[in-house]
Amino acid sequence: MRGLDWLGTRMARHLTAPGKLPAHRATSSPEKLAATLRRGDVLLVEGSSRISTAIRYLTQSTWSHAALCVRTPLDSRGRPVRGDCLLEADVTAGVRRVPLNHYWHQHTRICRPVGLTEEEISALIAHAEARLGHQYDLRNIVDLARYLIRTPPVPSRYRRRMLALGSGDPTRAICSSLIAEAFQAVRYPILPDSDVLPSSDPACLHCYEELLHIRHHSLFAPCDFDISPYFDIIKPTLCAGFDPHRLQWSEPPA
């Protein structure tokens, strides 16, 4: 156990170093991002580290990291609030709070749950904050590292489960499982499994009912919040009042 943890720690330091591929630029200004983000939002991050490459390969998506907004960055007057506003599971530091400027200049996406009350948002944030200080699942790091050494021809239907090969220790987490568990605590769907069954209503013989099943939180990836039909995608540039007629274009060469 200790030997695997030691190996995971060494690999974590290596994998969090910048990767070779350049990351995309931020698609909105820091000011617009701060003005748009709300409590309960999930902030997805593309990432540019070596571990980001492995996660993006396994999930076949743009996003490698997820953080939960636990405090709205600006107050009603547009002034910054005190304290860190994001909660995340970091590979080396574990579950922690970080300021929004940690991701200002990275490619991000805001995913907002729809229909939750303020009490429910407070409950899911409290559930996540109760995990502060927990460590990142380093066995998960060992699993991910294999895909940077040699990219295997893993069928797409099996790649997701490669992210769930960690220790299963409840005092350890990865970024997406931490947030997924918090939403499940208030019974908010992300991408639940479902069965379509004949309706139990005798007056509707040709009707069907969809029965949802909660998927284990360890099987969620950052991209699931993006593709979930229950999260709204919020774009800061549009929220700030985008007008295409005010754009300035360079003149094409003669």
Q: What is the pLDDT along the chain (254 residues), one digit of tens a residue?
A: 455 555 556 665 656 555 565 667 888 889 999 999 999 999 999 876 666 766 776 667 789 899 999 999 988 888 888 789 999 988 788 899 999 999 988 999 999 999 999 999 999 999 999 999 988 766 665 555 555 444 555 555 554 455 544 545 554 557 888 999 999 999 999 986 655 556 666 766 566 554 444 555 566 788 889 999 999 999 999 998 888 888 888 877 66
Q: What is the pLDDT of residue 156?
A: 52
Distance CA 140, CA 163 (A): 7
Closest CA to 62 of 250, 246, 225, 235: 225
Q: Please report, for residues 4, 15, 73, 175, 198, the alpha-carbon distance to residue 52 in angstroms, rounded to integers and kept in the order given.
A: 21, 8, 26, 12, 43
Count other C-beta atoms under 10 Å from residue 69's C-beta: 21
Buried/exposed code over 165-199 (b: 16+ C-beta within 10 A; e: otherwise)? ebbeeeebbbbbbbbbbbbbbbebbbbeeeeeeee
Q: What is the pLDDT of residue 47?
A: 78
Diameter of the chain by CA atoms? 73
Q: What is the pLDDT of residue 139?
A: 64
Tracing tokens 């530091």 back to the chain, one arrives at 93
Percentages helix, strand, coil for the chain (3-state, rounded to 5) are 35, 20, 45
Q: Are 103 and 25 in contact (CB under 8 A)?
A: no
Tracing tokens 């992210």 back to the chain, one arrives at 163
Distance CA 153, CA 97 (A): 37
User: 144 burial class (0-12, 13-18, 19+ CB within 10 angstroms)?
Assistant: buried
Closest CA to 222 of 27, 11, 62, 28: 62
Q: What is the pLDDT of residue 210?
A: 44
Distance CA 137, CA 140 (A): 5
Tracing tokens 């699993």 back to the chain, one arrives at 143
pTM assigned to the model: 0.76
